[in-house]
Amino acid sequence: MKVTEIREMSVTDLRDRIEVEKNNLESMKINHAISPLEDTSKFKKSRQDIARMITILAQKEKEQK
């Protein structure tokens, strides 16, 4: 997910999206334990997207205060 797409989202949408992405990461980890993924770089990309969203969420919340 690109930074410009994330910045356009509202605070509530960001919170919801972060939770969805965290759940997707956990399910990927569980599925990987059962049958290995071909492209393990998806873990890194997912973690980076979550971190990016959390950072932008913090910036937006700071601006609102």
Q: Would the pTM count as exceeding 0.95?
A: no
Report pLDDT digits (tens) over 27-49: 999 999 999 989 999 999 999 99
Tally Cβ neighbours within 10 Å of residue 2. Answer: 9
What mean pLDDT do residues 12-41 have? Answer: 95
Give the pLDDT confidence score for residue 1 in this predicted structure. Answer: 78
Domain ranges of the chain: 3-64
What mean pLDDT do residues 2-20 have? Answer: 95
Which amino acid is residue 62, in one-letter code? K
What mean pLDDT do residues 9-15 have? Answer: 95
| Class (C level, CATH) for 3-64 | mainly alpha
Instruction: Identify whether the C-beta of residue 43 lies closer than 8 Å to the C-beta of residue 28.
Output: yes
- Percent of the chain at pLDDT exceeding 90: 92
Give the pLDDT confidence score for residue 59 in this predicted structure. Answer: 96
